[in-house]
Amino acid sequence: MITENHLPYLVPRDILQQRIRTFQDVMQREGIRLAWIDHLADRLYYSGSAQNGVLLIPSHEAPVFFVKKSLSRAAGEAGVDVEPYPGRKALLKRISQWLDGGVLALAMDATPAAVYAWLKSLDTEIRDAAFFIRMQRAVKDAWELEQIRRAAHQAVVLMQELPDLVRPSMTEWSLSIQIESRMRELGHSGTIRVRNRASDPGMLNLVSGDSALYPTSFDGCVGGEGLFPFSSAAAGRRELRAGETLMVDAVTGWNGYFADTTRSFALGTVKEEALAAHDFCKEVLSDLESLMKPGADLSEIFETAQKNAESRGLPPGFMGHGENRVRFFGHGIGLELDEYPVIASGMPMRLAPDMVLAVEPKAFIAGVGAVGLENTYRITESGVENLTPAGDALKSISF
């Protein structure tokens, strides 16, 4: 069962079949007999359905999606065989028959420990498949790129329209309501997925002045007071003030895929310190764009860009104020906000065509606020394609 409204957005079956064949090639190379896929984004990637259940992929046979709920929806959405979840005992028996003494693999960064514990009762070797899954997902197919382009276009429209939404006496919260409403109008589903279970970001982080420097548990450099103490980083009750900056970090989305874009604005007159720091971030971004080529080592990209930045003299709070400082310049994005690859020191990966990354040099100035920007890029055969060309100036908003 599937509503006609969803038909245009299903993952094409030939795309799903190619993803599974690619993963099975890895399984055969690594000596893995069966893969257990239960993480939402992973089972959506391989099955085409986000219904609750577990996808089992044998190395040489057709996969089966065992669905707990909703079976009827999964039957209409998935591009693989669908069966009702038979219960733990029957499923273990089926797995044992598939394995026949072979190796079972699962994503140990995502599969619950309780599941791992009862799979251990099979008395077979269990390996971690997370790296293989995440590396495959890092390279986007043509269908994925189209969804990300649609998400990225939302950001371009949003950042162009944003100055007209700002009014004196607004709080961060009241402005974020206007922006989030517009994001929904543009097609955002309203939800964000991350692989890191310690994170619960919203689709927008809007911060002004020193609230951008507020400590955050989120693995990013932008703070934010939020409405309540549990908020990791989000718009709060602080009023927008002339002479400060406004930073808008938006995770736009379309059909399950995301783009990540940040733009900074000056509320009233642009302070020289803010303008200089923003121009510095633009130079760092330009450096990174020139370094991001197929085959480039991510750790070397980070180290070169960081060295170049330090040689110019870092502005205040570069890549985070105080304990908010991060040691990366960019991250992969797609079905989740925090995907591979990551531009960071010690990251043993190389760029490849059709990887998609959000790159975000930013600086944080006490008494002024945050400056800098973030774009989502596709790696091409020779360099990068900016999917979010929304201008790079520190625009002044009359205030």
pLDDT of the residue at 322: 96
- The burial of 312, by beta-carbon neighbours within 10 Å (0-12 exposed, 13-18 middle, 19 or more buried), is given as exposed
pLDDT of the residue at 388: 98
pLDDT of the residue at 394: 97
Q: How many CB atoms lie within 10 A of CB 29?
A: 10
Give the span between the Cα atoms of 26 and 103, in whole angstroms: 13
Residue 202: enclosing H or E segment and its boundaries? none
Residue 338: enclosing H or E segment and its boundaries? none
pLDDT in tens, 146-195: 999 999 999 999 999 999 999 989 999 999 999 999 999 999 999 999 99
Chain region(s) in the chain for CATH 3.90.230.10: 139-397
Give the span between the Cα atoms of 282 and 267, in whole angstroms: 19
pLDDT of the residue at 198: 80
Indicate if the pLDDT at residue 233 is higher than 90.
no
Give the span between the Cα atoms of 336 and 257, in whole angstroms: 7
Chain region(s) in the chain for CATH 3.40.350.10: 4-137
pLDDT in tens, 329-353: 999 999 999 999 999 999 989 999 9
pLDDT of the residue at 270: 85
Sheet holding 339-344, edge to edge: 339-344, 328-332, 356-359, 375-379, 384-386
- Nearest CA to 236 among 179, 176, 172, 180? 172
- The burial of 90, by beta-carbon neighbours within 10 Å (0-12 exposed, 13-18 middle, 19 or more buried), is given as exposed
pLDDT > 70: percent of the chain: 100
pLDDT band at 137 (very low <50, low <70, confident <90, very high): very high
- The CATH code for residues 139-397 is 3.90.230.10
pLDDT band at 389 (very low <50, low <70, confident <90, very high): very high
pLDDT in tens, 76-120: 999 999 999 999 999 999 999 999 999 999 999 999 999 999 999
Superfamily of domain 4-137: Creatinase/prolidase N-terminal domain (3.40.350.10)
Amino acid sitting at position 70? S
Indicate if the pLDDT at residue 255 is higher than 90.
yes
pLDDT in tens, 203-231: 999 999 999 999 999 889 999 999 999 88
pLDDT in tens, 28-71: 999 999 999 999 999 999 999 999 999 999 999 999 999 999 99
User: Each residue of 170-179: b (16+ CB within 10 Å) or e?
Assistant: bbbbebbbbb
